Amino acid sequence: MTIAITGASGRLGRLVAELLLADPPGSPGSVGSRGSVGALGESRVPGAPGAPRASSAPRAADTPGAIEALDAARGAGAPGSGGALAEDVVLVTRRPAALADLAARGAIVRAGDFDDPAGLVAAFAGVDRLLLVSTDALDRRVVQHRQALEAAVRAGVGHVVYTSLSNPAPGNPVGEVTDAHRSTEEALVPLAPRWTILRNATYADALVPLWLAAAARGRLVTNQGDGRTAWVARDDCAAVAAAILADASGRHVGQTLDVTGPSLMGAADLGAALASGAGRHVVIEQVDDDAMAAHLVADGLPADRARLVAAWHRAIREGWFTQRTDVVEELTGRPARPVATLLTTG
């Protein structure tokens, strides 16, 4: 069984790769099929090819909770048991050199770019289950994702898991993001032999720097109004993806799962979490969308990103991102990380 991850040098892709390469306690660790070097431009570091993953292999310092969670999920009879440990893990990326450390741990690293469909077919050769990580190219990712899907089908991939976003319905104020996810979902379902859609909620990690700045100044400027959302930790999204990829049962085939944080939070809840972490009162200042974007620019964000973040908070205000589930806990065996924890641990 061969599992592949696209975008493997990105933050989410790397987290998933780390989880699949980590050796859970008590696992057989049989990796007898890891000895060969393929003819697809793939690489493993000399000395490492085929070697069983040592239980002393370094773990990602930034993913301790997620690794423990996957270990737990792989426990006897738990969701996700069956594991990827006896399987090949293929990491597809535009930047193979950035994954030399994971190649040294036994991963097969292959060059692959969604803008190069022919090369992608080769990169996906022999892959059974694929995590297709959405790209960050907002202007062309509908085409990119379509090309990646078609390449996966041509290569004979059996199960495609796609990282989408909450509520990619028409009219969402962040249509420049959600429309591409909706189009990809619509292409995925008829194309892929088997599929799973992971609708990740908004990454809390992306907002932590802004929140910490607000805590430091004692003032949270927002246009989210009375809207609430369940911000999620990126490593929880990674743990869910890894659990599905490692699960041989197929129980998640044909499912669309909302992957969210543990609770819906409004601006007041966020302000309270910030105040608690900073040890000072944090005033909530509600502004309109233009003022929010201007505030973010003043805080150092590029104008286009500031407009996107403001639109995202408008979507929260208008109730587009109110999904909340226990998917993280159900698939990993431990609760999703709350924002308050992320504020202190990053």
Judged by the rule CB under 6 A, the positions of this chain that interact with ligand NAP are: 6-13, 93-95, 113-115, 133-137, 144, 163, 165, 200, 202-203, 206, 234
Instruction: For the chain, state the CA radius of gyration.
Output: 20
Residue type, 340: A
Of the two residues 146 and 219, which places its CB atom closer to ligand NAP in the complex? 146
Of the two residues 113 and 247, which places its CB atom closer to ligand NAP in the complex? 113
Of the two residues 26 and 302, which places its CB atom closer to ligand NAP in the complex? 302
Shortest Å, Cβ 256 to ligand NAP: 15
Shortest Å, Cβ 177 to ligand NAP: 8
Q: In 10 A of CB 336, how many CB atoms?
A: 29
DSSP string, 86-105: TSEEEEEES-GGGGHHHHHT
| Burial class, 227, CB count within 10 angstroms (exposed 0-12 / middle 13-18 / buried 19+) | buried
Shortest Å, Cβ 72 to ligand NAP: 24
User: What are the two backbone dihedrals, phi and then psi, of residue 262, each rounded to the nearest 5 degrees?
Assistant: -75, -20
Shortest Å, Cβ 79 to ligand NAP: 22
- How far out from the chain centre does Cα 266 lie? 23
Of the two residues 195 and 312, which places its CB atom closer to ligand NAP in the complex? 312
Of the two residues 60 and 85, which places its CB atom closer to ligand NAP in the complex? 60
Alpha helices in the chain (DSSP H): 11-21, 64-73, 100-104, 117-123, 141-155, 175-191, 208-217, 234-246, 267-278, 289-298, 303-317, 327-332, 339-345
- Residue of 130, 85, 83 whose CA lies nearest to 107: 85
Q: Please name the residue that has the structure tokens 């059996």.
A: 158
Shortest Å, Cβ 184 to ligand NAP: 10
| Partners of 89 in the β-ladder | 3
Alpha helices in 174-266 (DSSP H): 175-191, 208-217, 234-246
Q: Which two tokens stand for residue 294?
A: 């201007």
Of the two residues 113 and 128, which places its CB atom closer to ligand NAP in the complex? 113
Beta carbons of 222 and 286 less than 8 angstroms apart = yes
Shortest Å, Cβ 204 to ligand NAP: 8
Distances (CA, A) of 121 to 69, 110, 116, 144, 188: 33, 11, 9, 13, 16
Of the two residues 144 and 224, which places its CB atom closer to ligand NAP in the complex? 144
Shortest Å, Cβ 73 to ligand NAP: 21
Of the two residues 7 and 83, which places its CB atom closer to ligand NAP in the complex? 7
| Partners of 284 in the β-ladder | 220
Shortest Å, Cβ 54 to ligand NAP: 25
Residue type, 292: M
Shortest Å, Cβ 159 to ligand NAP: 19
Of the two residues 13 and 83, which places its CB atom closer to ligand NAP in the complex? 13
